[in-house]
């Protein structure tokens, strides 16, 4: 004997909120501290600091461009054409946006901290590492901003009728 449909528990409903500024700030502070500490720790452990290559910096710029394109595409789909994303696709994009936003903030601040650790260094290559770290930080900041745009693009109207 089957139970009536009225006895079924209601389907859970919840709300997702945008990534909090507190979480982003925590990633920025942690990244800055880790990035600043990498230079002296690297020299103490291996005798030379880790170096930043152009490949690292340009890879971050490429990821930022990909995230920006995905944000634009999602915005066009959801807000301009008023189409719905498949539920799994929407969740995947939201999770990607949040993960890249927090990771981008951490990495960006890490490269800034690393660049700051080279200021005043008498090494002949210090200027080179500062420039590369700043470009990498800019690329990671681009990842963070594009991910923020993707997170905002994933927001739906909540079922409210449009005028």
Please write the tens of the pLDDT for every residue from 99-108. Answer: 999 999 999 9
Determine contact, residues 55/135, Cβ cutoff 8 Å: no
- For residue 127, being part of any structural domain is answered with yes
pTM for this prediction: 0.85
Domain containing 139 equals: 20-153
pLDDT of residue 155 exceeding 80: yes
The pLDDT score that the predictor gives to residue 36 is 95
Of 144, 119, 149, 147, residue with least CA distance to 131: 119
- For residue 111, being part of any structural domain is answered with yes
Q: What is the mean pLDDT of the chain?
A: 90
pLDDT of residue 156 exceeding 80: no
Number of domains in the chain: 1
Determine contact, residues 154/17, Cβ cutoff 8 Å: no
- For residue 147, being part of any structural domain is answered with yes
Query: For the residues 120-127, what does the mean pLDDT come to?
Result: 85
Own/partner contacts of 117-124, CB < 8 Å, gap of 24 or more, are 117/35, 117/36, 117/37, 117/38, 117/39, 117/40, 118/39
- For residue 7, being part of any structural domain is answered with no
Determine contact, residues 59/140, Cβ cutoff 8 Å: no
The pLDDT score that the predictor gives to residue 94 is 95
- For residue 2, being part of any structural domain is answered with no
- For residue 14, being part of any structural domain is answered with no
- For residue 15, being part of any structural domain is answered with no
- For residue 4, being part of any structural domain is answered with no
């Amino acid at each position: 004997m089957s139970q009536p449909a009225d006895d079924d528990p209601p389907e859970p409903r919840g709300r997702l909120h945008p990534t909090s500024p507190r979480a982003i700030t925590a990633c920025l502070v942690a990244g800055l501290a880790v990035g600043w500490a990498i230079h002296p720790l690297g020299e103490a452990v291996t005798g030379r600091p880790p170096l930043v290559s152009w490949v690292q910096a340009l890879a971050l710029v490429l990821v930022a461009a990909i995230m920006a394109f995905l944000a634009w595409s999602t915005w066009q789909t959801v807000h301009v054409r008023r189409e719905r994303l498949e539920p799994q696709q929407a969740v995947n994009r939201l999770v990607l946006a949040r993960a890249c936003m927090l990771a981008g903030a951490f990495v960006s601040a890490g490269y800034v901290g690393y660049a700051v650790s080279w200021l005043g260094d008498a090494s002949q290559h210090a200027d080179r590492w500062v420039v590369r770290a700043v470009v990498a930080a800019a690329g990671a900041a681009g990842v963070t901003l594009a991910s923020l745009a993707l997170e905002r693009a994933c927001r739906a109207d909540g079922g409210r009728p449009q005028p």
